[in-house]
Structure 1
Amino acid sequence: MIGTYGNPFQTSFLTNYTTNTSGTGSLMSTGVINVGQLVTQLMNAQSQPLTALQNQLSGIQTTLSAYGKLQGAVSSLQTAAQTLSNPSSFQAAQATVTGTGVAATVTGTPATANYSIGVSSIAQAQSVFSSPVSDPTALNMGTGTLTIQMGSLSGSTFTGSGSAINVSITSSNDSLNGIAAAINAAASGSVNASVVTDASGSRLVLSSANTGLSNAFSVTSTGASGTGLAGIAFNPASPSTSPSSAAMGESQAAADANFTVNGLALSSASNTVTSAIQGVTLNLTQPTPSGAPAQVAIGSNVTAITNSVVSFLQAYNNYVSINNSLTAYNSQSNTASVLTGDPTAMQTSNSLQAIMSSATTAGGSSSYSYLAQIGVSFNSDGSLALNTTQFQAALSANPSAVSAMFTQGGTGSSGGFAFQVANLATQLVGPNGAIGSAENSTNNQIANLNSQITTEKGMLAQIKQNLIAQYSQLNANLVQGQQTQASLYTQLAALP
C-alpha cells in the first residue's frame, strides 16, 4: 500500500501544491512542503475503509444491546412463569373466623374445610406473690439461698424436671428489689421476677415465663425463720391464695388450654396452637360463649392467587412492550427499529403468542381450555389484560381447573400456559436457544470486526510513518536545492 503514493495521483497532488509557494493554507511556503498538513490529507483518503469498519461495528453493537434487552425481558418472564407454574401458587389459603375467642392464621397449605372451635379455658402461666414490705430497697430480708425448680403439675402432684436454679442472697442484695434482680439474673427464660407496689406495700411477684401445666415451678428458701427471705417459698402441689411468713400466695395457677375442634377435645400448654389443624395456627384468646363456638373457614386466598397471575401477566406485557419498541416500523417516516424484521425477535414473539392464544388440555376435557374463559384477553398491541371479576369467579367455581391452566398439569399433558412459557423461555435464553445463539453470533461478529480494525489501524500507522519520512526527506532536498540556487544567484551577481 505504501508504494501507491508514487502513482500519478500523488505526483499530481504534490505538483499542485509545490507550485503554490505563498498564501494561507498552502502546503508549501518558500518552496518547503508542510509535511503535517499534506500527510493528514493523504491519510484522510486512506482511512475510509477504517471508518466503514467502525461504523459497521457500531451498528452491530447496537444490535447486541437490543438482543440483551430482549433476553432480559424473556428472562424476567421465565422467572415469573416458573413461579406461577408451581402448584403452590394456587394453594394460597386464608382463614376466616366468625365468633369470639379464636384467631386463625394460615401458615402452610391447609385443605379447604370448615371448623368449629370451642374454648373452655385458655392456658395460663403460674404466678405467685409475697407478703408486702414497706421499703423494697431496705436490706433486711435476710440471707440464704432460694432454689427454683421447674416442673409439671398434675392435679396435686408436682414433678420437677431439669436442674434446679440456685439464687444466692447476701447482705449486699437482701432487699426486695435485690432479690428480684438476683432471680432474673439466675432464672432468665424460666421465671420472671418483679416488684409490684400498691397501698399495702411492695410485693415480690414471680411468674413462669411460659404458660401450661408443664411450666409450673416450686421455690424453697434457706432463710432463717421469721425473716422475709423465709417467706419467699412456694409449693404448687399445695398452693394458698394468701401469702404468709412461710410461703407465697398463688394469684394464678399454671393451666393448659382446653378446647374442641369439631367436637374433639384437645389441650395445649400454649394458647398458640399449631398442631390442631394442619397448616393453620390457632390463637386462643378467651373462652367461647357456651353453645357458641367460633367458626373457622379455610378457603382459597383469592386475592393472593390473583396477584400471582397478575405478576405473570405483567412480566409478559413487559416483554411485549420491549419487543414492540425494538421491532417497530414507522411507515410515515419509513424508519425501522434496530430489530425490525429480525428473525430471532420474530421467532420469539410468534412462539410466545402461539402458546398464549392456544388451548391447553392440562386440566382435562371438562375444565377450562382458553385464557379468555377465565378473563384473560389480548389487547391490540399483543399485551394481555385481566378481567379480575371474571377470573375470580372462575377461580371460586373451579379452583383446580384454573390452577391446571397455568401449572404442569397431568400425565401426558403439555402443561398449562405458565408451564409452557417457562419451558420456552428457558430454551430461548439458553446458549443454544434463538436469543442465546443470536447473541453468540453477534459477539463473534464484533470480535472479528475488532480484529480487522486493529489490523487496519496498524497498517495506517505504518503508512503515515512512511509518508512523514518520505516528505520530510523531500523537504530536506528542497531546502538544499534552494540553498544551491541562492549560491548560484550570488555568484552570478558577482560577475562583472
Structure 2
Amino acid sequence: MGTVGLSFGSPTGGAGFDVTSTVNQIVSNMQAIETPWKSQLTTLQSQDSALTGIGTDLSSLSTAMQSLTNFEGVLAEKQGSSSDTSLLQLTSASTSAIAGTHTVVVQSLATTSSYVSGTIANAGDTLSGNLEINGKTITIDSSNNTFSSLASTINSGSYGLTANVITDSSGTRLSLVSQTSGASGAISVTSNLSDTSTSSSVNFSQTQPGADAQLTVDGVLVASSSNTVTNAIQGVTFQLLSANKDESIQVEITNDNTDVETALNTFVTDYNKVLQDLNTQEGSDSNGNPEPLFGNPTIALLQQSLQSALTFVQPSNTVASSSSVGSSDALSGKILIGVGGGSQEEIDIPDNSSMADVAAAINSANIGVTAAIITSGNNAILSLTNATSGSSGAISVDASGLTDTSTGNAVTFGSAQSNTVTSITQLGVSVNNDGTLTLDTDALDSLLNSNYQGVVNFLQPSGNYTSFGGNFTNILDNLGSSAPSGAIYLALQEDSQVETQLNTNISNEETIITAQKAQLTTELTQANYTLTEIPQQLEQINEMYSAITGYNEGQNG
C-alpha cells in the first residue's frame, strides 16, 4: 500500500487544507487491496461469457442431432407420387409409411346418399303433415311449416343429414344430404307433406345412393366409405378424383432424402460452429491478449469428447438378450456363442452370477465378441457386438442353458443384426485439417438411395447396442449447460462460487473503507478547524502579551 502525505501549509497562515481531497486520496490508497479481486472477477466474467456462448452452440448441435435420432423425425419422413393425378392424388405420408411402389385401380368413387323434394312455386308457401327421416318423424307446426324453417329444424336435430333450400327459376326445393359418405351413410326419407297454398303433395326422390369407393391395391380389393382413402396403404392418405377400371395407377412412396440431407448439413454446420468456438479460445484476441479460456481444461475436455464422439465406430454385427432380466437378478448355467458361422463355444456361468459377471466371462473367453450391459430402468440387456462386417462377423447365440434363477425363467436372445454403415465417413462426412467437417451431399444421397435402413440404424439409438447417434447424444448431454453433470454447467458453477467469494470480499472491504472514510473525515475536519483557529489564537496571545508588558508587537520601534 502506498503512503499519503498531508500538506497543512503554514501553521500560522490560517488557510487549513482540503479535507475532501485528502480523504479521497487516503481512501483510494486503501482501495488498492481490492484491485486483484476485481481483476480476477473481470477475468472470470469473461470466461463465463465465453462458456455461455459455447454452451448455446452445443445446445444447437444437440438439437441438430435430435432431428436425426428422433424416431419420428426426418428419417421417418416419406414422399409420395401418383402416375395419374387426375385419378388419384396423394395428400400425405406419415412416419409409419413404408417406402415402396403400389399399383392402384380405381373402379368406382364413393358417393353420398341424398334426396331432393319436388318443387313448390313460392319459397314462402306453408306446409302441413309430417316428414320421416331415418325412422324419426318431424311433425309440421307453425315453427317449421316452410322449407326454410323445416331445414333449420333438421339441421339443429340429430338426423344424420344436412338440409339445404335450393331456389332457382323453376321454384324452390329442399335438398337432404347424408353427413356420412359411402354405403354406411345411406338415408331413408318418407314424405307426408303437403303445400297448403296449392293443396299438392310434396314428395322426395333419391338423387344419389350412398356407395363405397371400390379400388384394388396391389391386386387386393379395397372398399372405402370416403374418396379420401386412409386404409389402403400403411401411413398413406390419398384422394380419389375419378374412376377408370382400365388404368393402373403407380403410387410410389419414397424416403425424403432431401430433408435428411438438410438435417445432416445442419448438424455439420452446428458442429463446425462449436469447434470454431473451441479453436478460438486457443489463441489471442485482436489486441494480442490470450482469449478468456486459453489453457482452460474445460476446452480440452470438450475437444477430446467431440473427437471421440465423431470417430465412434458402430459395431458391424450385434445381438442382444430379449427377455426381461433384472439388474440385480442372479443367473447360472451356460451360454453358447459362435462367430462367422463357426462352431459355438460354451461359456460356463457360475451360480449367482450377475449380468455383469456374464459379460465379464464372455469377454474373458476371447471368442471375437464384446459383451456389454445396457440398463433400462431396473432391467439389464446383455449386448454382444463384433466389429467384423458381413457374414464373417455374424454372431449366433444359444442361451437355452442360461437361467435367471431369481425368476426361474430362461434367458432369451433376439435376432442378430448386421450394420452396414459403421462410421460417419460413409455418410459423406470428412474431417478437415482444423477439425471442422465437410458434407458431400452427393455421396450421402447415393447412400440413402442404396442403403437407407443402414443410415437409420447408424443414427438412431438402439436398445441392443450403442449407435453413433445414441453415443453422440449421450456425450453432448455430458458437455453442455444442463444440470447436474454438463461440463459447461460445472465450469460455470465453479466460476460462480469463486465470483461469489470475490464479491463478498469486495463488499466487506468496502464496508470497512466506508467506516474508515467517515472516521477520517471527522478527524481531519477537526484538525482543519484547529489549523484555521491558530491565527486567531496567536492574535489573542499577542493582545494578552501587550496588555501585560505594554509592548505592542504591531508597532515599529
What TM-score, normalized by structure 1, do the two folds share?
0.81
Deviations 1:67-122 (A, max 9, x none): 12222222222233233223444232222221342223312322233221111111
Please point out which of 235, 244, 252 is paired with 1:297.
252
Q: Partner letter of residue 120 of structure 1?
A: Q
**Matches of 1:252 and 1:393, distance apart in 2:** 52
- What code does the residue aligned with 1:415 have? S
Tell me, which stretches of 5 or more residues in structure 1 are unaligned?
22-27, 150-159, 232-244
Query: Does residue 370 of the first structure (1) align with residue 419 of the second (2)?
Result: no
Q: How many angstroms apart in 2 are the aligned matches of 1:229 and 1:93? A: 62
Q: Report the residue type matching 2:471 in the other structure.
A: Q
Determine helix, strand or coil for the equivalent of 1:143: strand
1:274 is displaced (CA, Å) by 1.8
Give the whole-Å Cα distance in 1 for the aligned partners of 2:463 and 2:250: 35
CA offsets per residue over residues 345-393 of structure 1, 9 Å max, x none? Answer: 1220232123224543367725233333322123454332222121111
Distance 1:198 1:84, change over 3 A: same
In the other structure, the counterpart of 1:268 is: 224
Distance 1:257 1:227, change over 3 A: farther
1:19 is aligned to 2:72 = no
Flag the 1:432–1:208 CA change in 2: closer, same or farther, 3 A. Answer: closer
Cα drift, residue 452 of structure 1: 0.7
Secondary structure at the aligned position of 2:176 is classed as strand
Residues 355 and 421 in structure 1, CA contact (< 8 A), matched pair in contact too: yes
User: What is the aligned partner in structure 1 of residue 329 from structure 2?
Assistant: none
Q: How does 1:282-321 map to 2 (within 5 A)?
A: 282-290=238-246, 292-321=247-276
Equivalent residue number for residue 129 of structure 1: 116
RMSD: 2.9
| Aligned equivalent of 2:474, options 419, 423, 442 | 423
Alpha-carbon distance between aligned partners in 2 of 1:229 and 1:464, rounded to the nearest angstrom = 111
Amino acid at match of 2:297: P
Distance in 2, matches of 1:230 and 1:39, equals 115
Is it true that 1:458 corresponds to 2:511 in the alignment?
A: yes
**Cα 1:328–1:251 shift into 2, 3 Å:** farther
Q: Is the contact made by 2:14 and 2:535 (CA closer than 8 Å) also made in structure 1?
A: no
1:205 alignment counterpart: 175
Asked if residue 474 in structure 1 is aligned to residue 527 in structure 2, the reply is yes
Larger RCO (alpha carbons 8 Å, 6+ apart): 1
Consecutive unaligned residues in structure 2, runs of 5 or more: 318-386, 391-419, 552-557
Match of 2:87 in 1: 101
User: In the alignment, is the contact (CA less than 8 A) between 2:191 and 2:204 conserved in 1?
Assistant: no
Partner of 2:344: none
For 1:371 and 1:328, the matched residues in 2 are separated by 29
- Which residue of structure 1 lines up, in the alignment, with residue 383 of structure 2? none
**Among candidates 291, 297, 319, match of residue 343 of structure 1:** 297
Cross-structure match for 2:154: 183
SS in 2 for 1:103: strand
Q: Distance in 2 between matches of 1:229 and 1:84?
A: 73
- The within-5 A match list for 1:53-452 is 53-89=37-73, 90-99=75-84, 100-104=86-90, 105-136=92-123, 138=124, 140-149=125-134, 164=136, 167=138, 169-171=140-142, 173-187=144-158, 190-223=160-193, 227=196, 245=201, 247-290=203-246, 292-329=247-284, 334-361=288-315, 365-366=389-390, 367-408=420-461, 411=464, 413-416=465-468, 418-429=469-480, 430-452=483-505
Deviation of 1:444 (Å):
0.8
Q: What is the rounded CA distance, in whole Å, between the counterparts of 2:198 and 2:460 in structure 1? A: 69
Give the Å deviation of 1:123: 1.0
Partner Cα separation in structure 2 for residue 379 and residue 396 of structure 1: 26
Question: How far does residue 298 in structure 1 lie from its aligned partner after superposition?
Answer: 2.1
SS at match of 2:126: coil
Q: Percent identity?
A: 27
Report the CA distance between 1:399 and its aligned residue. 1.0
The 8 Å contact of residues 113 and 181 in structure 2, kept in 1 or not, is answered as yes
Structure 1 residues 249 and 145, CA gap change in structure 2 (3 angstroms):
closer
Determine the structure 1 residue equivalent to 2:328.
Answer: none
* Equivalent AA in structure 2 for residue 127 of structure 1: S
Structure 1 residue 486: Cα displacement: 1.6
Contact persistence 1:79–1:422 (CA under 8 A) = no
